[in-house]
Structure 1
Amino acid sequence: MHNEENTRPSRTITGDRVNLADIEERLGAPASYDGLREHFRVAVPESYNMAADTVLRQAAGPRAQAVALVCEREDGSVTRHSFAELAEESARLATLLRRHGIGRGDIVACYLGQGLEAALTYLAAFRLGAVVAPLSQLYGPETVLHALTDCGASLLVADAALWARIAGLRAQCPDLRSVLLVGDAPDGTVSFDDYRAMPAEWPWVRTRADEPALLLYTSGSTGLPKGILHAHRILPGYLASVSLFYELQMGDPDRVLWTPSDWSWVAGIFNVMLTGWYFGHTVVASRMRFDPEGAFALMQRHGVTHCFLTPTALKRMAAIPDPKARWQDLALRAIGTGGEPLPSAVLEWGDAALGVPINEFYGLTEVNHLIGNCRRLYPIRPGSMGRAYPGHEIAVIDEQGDPVPDGEVGEIAARDDDPTLFLGYWKQPERTAAMKSGRWVRTGDFGSRDADGYFWYRGRNDDLIKSAGYRIGPAEVEDALVRHDAVAEAAVVGSPDPDRGQIVKAFVRLASGWSADDALIGDLQAHVKRSLAVYKYPREIEFVDEFALTTTGKIDRKVLRQREVARKTAESR
């Protein structure tokens, strides 16, 4: 007997099918947000490996000789690498890593900028079932030392120039057995180029989908940066949302993706690199220091069609008049942005000056791409965070963990089965458990949802500073400041800023015998840059004679934050 139900095509839409043609084919109707929400499912098999499902899968298919990676170096030279080449070269590097004792579950720290070496390090480590711990090239020695010792990295791959910053600290890293350097390799280290002589014999470990793959260090509101552990399954969780903020165009042929964001951040890794390779597209890598004109020129040179840019970067680019007249061959189709609220004026600039939609999204490193926009499916409401992306169940909850009515402010929360949810904080189970409230995972961000499902951001519940897309913990900046001989006491808060969202503002009480002047401000700023990272230094320093204290005797940062908000509000009038 003929069964019409069995012959009807499935209406289920998975992450790899979130593009306009596939959605409409599956739904049998025009693509819509409601239709996608109803029929979308994240498909994650029991076994999953991010190297195998990106570069290695493409290398075994019709895209084998397509360009996977374009590398533009500091001297302007450009190299191009196919999927087949990345697959073979990462197998050679995996063999070298194995000979240095790296296997399943071992931690490989990656202290590299964008480029071929970073790409191969990620792929080789994933092939071995090892865990990559990316370290930003912006990190200073103390932050790098903390990460290396905290995670117990067995092997470090680094640029020689970056290694020079921390070489003297190696004795403080007892777990670090091997150091592979890109560039000159002094005694006690190994040349990264040794991988070229290795046989391309290593296939890949059949890892479980929930097996650890990535350990990201990021700042919190207290203490030193904490490790955020993700599994291989994170990539399937990102596919649909990346496709959405890139306007459902990831299924189209010949896309070219780029971001100035460091590949040590979750944005660079998933919004561009791995997602681009999953869909068989070209990824552009560049070591250029971001500047607006340089960004436009790079995108034109390489035919970039889709990019991730922070709101701060976009604000700087929007200051350039008539960019399409200067860069007439721009191929841009869509821009994704996140990390801080996007001003509505920048949205308008994207339409008027570029003719390109800018889709903002929201999430945390711990659980990401929760809410956002896709102009192809629904209108953007300026000032709104967007709507819950398909596959993500989002609520606004009260202190008891119960959802509040639409229009009421509460804490934004994701469900504990979210496809991008991390495995936990490294060696901090109590902190991990503290994020949960029943089935909800708290984000620490407050907002409201309107009757049409759009979310509106209201602020955070802690002292975390979000500046130009970076998360900066006040405690680590304070710790660096008080190690300077001139500082007796310090308090750090986020101060409102029209360009960066917030800047780091430090209040300092000087030690006896020191006088406040501009030279000392510059010295303190340089001290923090050297100790932590360039982006963490206090852009403003104010000297005080004493601090207001809480009833428990702690510095009352709430008073300082309120004062800063009042001051900046008055200045803007």
Structure 2
Amino acid sequence: MLNFENLLTQDANGWHWHLPNYFNIAYGCVRQHVEKGQGDKLAMIVEDQFQGTSQLTYRDLDQASGRFNYLLKSLNISDGERVLIRLPNATSYPISFFGCLKHGAVAVPTSTLLSAHEVAYLAKDSGAKVLVTAKSMWPELSATLGKHDNLQTVLLAGQGNVPDTSNDSGIEVIDLDQALAQSPVDDSIFASRPDDPAYLVYTSGTTGFPKGVLHGHRSLIGRMPASRYWFNFQSGDRILHSGKFNWTYVLGSALMDPLFHGHTVIVHEGKNDANTWPQLIAKHQCTIFIGVPTIYRQIIQKTNFSADDVPSLRHCMSAGEHLSDEMLLAWRERFAMDVYEAIGMSEFSYYISQHTGAPIRPGAAGFIQPGHQVMLVDENLQPVASGQEGMIAIKTDDPGLFLEYWQLPDETTESRQAGYFLTGDYARQDEDGYIWFIGRKDDIINTFGYRVSPHEIERVIKTHPQVADCVALGDTIGKDKTIVSVCVIPVNEQALDEQELLEFGNQHLARYKAPKQVHLYQDFPRTKNGKVLRKQLLADLTNKRQSLTVSQTEVQA
């Protein structure tokens, strides 16, 4: 049996990867534990606010994903074909995900927050032949997705009957739970090589449309440095994650990494209530809690829980956006432990993090995880000196790096130069090795842990009949609080209903992408060649807000 710990070793010459000839994520996360006699150990617990608690042992997950594997074969799905997964946090998620990988298909995780039109775009772009979604979600999707030729089958999970959404699309709609119950267990696992495609995630693109980021089965091996230096795994760990499986961050840190190492994962489905997380930690005796800064902030500000209420908890982790120094200190005071941050991206997951072997320096992102070859380079792709700003560049032979941008060969090629993947993120490294993250020198909006392309928002808002032009911005309205604002030039200077435009955004965009404020303009500041000066627009919004604050203060005085 393969010893996975030997896949990343260190000697006097540095770190070395040793990839096997064949490797399948489903084997690493599921089957290996059954073969080791740990099949009865709990792999996952799902706490659903409305449907109660459900759980899977490693043997349950192995068998159920084997039935899903058989189901895909019965549908004549070939290896390499895509299966779109749009599910809430439920046991059907890992069953579908690992079932895809066992079959050799490519899983395409998709957020439940996306609108029907956005899901339709992903279905078309990925060429997915199968969609796995919840029965409650299908009526909204059916009319839009029925227009795409590639989609052949929809598998509906969850309680209740299959909704009646008859149309002329020719799509076969199947009750997933019934189909799995009637399917035999297929114990086979596709003999994938490390570089074979495993899953396709979508991220905000620069053209106004999401772009696919294709990962290989090797990606699980490539995240071993995070398992060693960020998670701080110990025997018997029980991990509570506050996120949804469809997010790349959660897909790795909740679904794959903990299961790869044989631990138990607890996730929640339902309304976001700050009290939920400490309560679940106590109920399930969780040892690790993983969230985003917003969740930690809510627990501190909206609950009275403290370390005495969660005695099992020993390690906390955060990613998605920076955790403020103020919140870190508040968490230390209340829970007597640190929160260890990490930085990652859809193309590479988390590769810079804090760890228990070194003190946290407020404001620093942590260290390059041992095993990853990462440099900070200047515009000539030469290493910068300590303390100097440089672009983060990752060695292209790192197994954690994505395979390609889906159907974007030119963009894939342009992103890799001189043997390195150029992230577009900038940082500096001090003499002690700490990384101080600066960010991207582009316009991507980081709002409540989500990275959003302004071009994608603008593309949608510009379809409104009263909008002549618009610019979407990340508008910082308070400490560690950034919202999406949209600056709009109305058609022919007509009156524009701002509330109606916000509703339009909510209908056509995921909630985290939809604008929260509208600012009206007659024209935008531009360069001589007509390019909008986004920084100047953002500065104008900041100045207006500050002026309003001063005026309100004077009135109160």
TM-score (norm 1): 0.89
Residue of structure 1 equivalent to 2:297: 315
- d(CA) in 1 for partners of 2:526 and 2:547? 25
Aligned partner of residue 319 in structure 1, secondary structure: helix
1:367 aligned to which of 322, 325, 348: 348
Confirm or deny that 1:393 pairs with 2:373.
yes
CA contact (8 A) 1:221 1:472 kept: no
Distance 1:305 1:37, change over 3 A: farther
RMSD: 2.4
SS at match of 1:301: helix
State the Cα distance separating 1:15 from its structure 2 match. Answer: 5.1
* Deviation readout 1:353-374 (Å, 9 max, x if unpaired): 1122211111211023221100
CA-CA distance at 1:569 after TM superposition: 7.2
Does the CA-based 8 Å contact 1:495-1:503 persist in structure 2?
yes
Residue 50 of structure 2 aligns with which residue?
75
Aligned partner of 1:173 in structure 2 is 148
Using the TM superposition, give the Cα deviation of residue 501 of structure 1 relative to its aligned residue in structure 2, in angstroms.
4.8
1:401-440 equivalences in 2 (<5 Å): 401-440=381-420
Which residue number corresponds to residue 201 of structure 1? Answer: 186
- Equivalent residues of 1:43, 1:236 under 8 A apart: no
Match of 1:338 in 2: 319
| CA–CA separation in structure 1 for the residues paired with 2:498 and 2:11 | 53
Identity level (%): 27
Aligned to 1:192: 176
Does residue 90 (structure 1) correspond to residue 65 (structure 2)? The answer is yes
For the 8 Å contact 2:274–2:303, the answer to whether it is kept is: no
Question: Post-superposition shift, 1:319?
Answer: 1.4
Q: Which amino acid aligns with 2:280?
A: L
Residue 136 of structure 1 corresponds to 111
Cα shift at 1:258? 2.2
Contact 1:496 1:564 (C-alpha < 8 Å) held by counterparts:
no
Asked if 1:298 corresponds to 2:283, the answer is no
Contact 1:332 1:356 in 2 (8 A): no
Matched with 1:5 is none
Corresponding position of 1:476: 456
Identify if the C-alpha distance between structure 1 residues 37 and 223 changes in structure 2 by more than 3 Å, giving closer, same or farther.
farther
Give 3-state SS (helix, strand or coil) of 1:145's partner.
helix
- Find the aligned partners of 2:149 and 2:94 in 1 and give their Cα distance: 27
What is the Cα deviation at residue 215 of structure 1? 0.3
SS in 2 for 1:332: coil
Quick one: which of 492, 505, 519 aligns to 1:528? 505
CA contact (8 A) 1:156 1:178 kept: yes
SS in 1 for 2:146: helix
Q: Which residue number corresponds to residue 351 of structure 1?
A: 332
**Residue number in structure 2 paired with 1:378:** 358
Q: Does the C-alpha gap of structure 1 residues 305 and 571 become closer, same or farther in structure 2, counting only changes over 3 Å?
A: farther
Deviation, structure 1 residue 242: 3.0
Counterpart Cα distance in 2 of 1:392 and 1:430: 25
Aligned mate of 1:162, from 129, 137, 140: 137
- SS for the counterpart of 2:202 is strand
- CA distance in 2 between counterparts of 1:88 and 1:465 reads 42
Corresponding letter in the other structure for 1:331: S
1:548 aligned residue (525, 528, 539): 525
Counterpart of 1:210?
A: 195
Does the CA contact (< 8 Å) of 1:70 and 1:79 recur in 2? yes
- What letter matches 1:277 in structure 2? L
Of the structure 1 ranges 341-350 and 143-152, higher mean CA displacement relative to structure 2 is found in 341-350
**Residues 239 and 288 (structure 1), Cα distance of their counterparts in 2 relative to 1, 3 Å cut:** farther
Q: Which runs of 5+ in 2 are unaligned?
A: 167-171, 551-557
Q: What is the alpha-carbon distance in structure 1 between the residues aligned to residue 51 and residue 490 of structure 2? A: 46
Give the aligned residue type for 2:189: W
Residues 306 and 540 of structure 1, relative CA distance in 2, 3 Å threshold: same
Q: Kindly indicate whether the alpha-carbon contact (under 8 Å) linking 2:348 and 2:401 is maintained by their aligned counterparts in 1.
A: yes
The question of whether the paired residues in 1 share the 8 Å contact of 2:281 and 2:310 is answered with no
Report SS of the residue matched to 1:189. Answer: strand
Cα drift, residue 454 of structure 1: 1.0
Q: Which residue of 1 aligns with 2:487?
A: 507
Gap change, CA 1:37 and 1:315, over 3 Å in 2: farther
SS in 2 for 1:370: strand
Partner of 1:454: 434
Q: Which moved more, 1:143-152 or 1:161-170?
A: 161-170
Structure 1 residue runs of 5 or longer lacking an equivalent are 1-12, 19-25, 27-34
Amino acid corresponding to residue 189 of structure 1 in structure 2:
V
- Mark the CA change 1:497 to 1:312 in structure 2 (over 3 Å): closer, same or farther: farther
> Cα distance, 1:216 vs. partner?
0.1
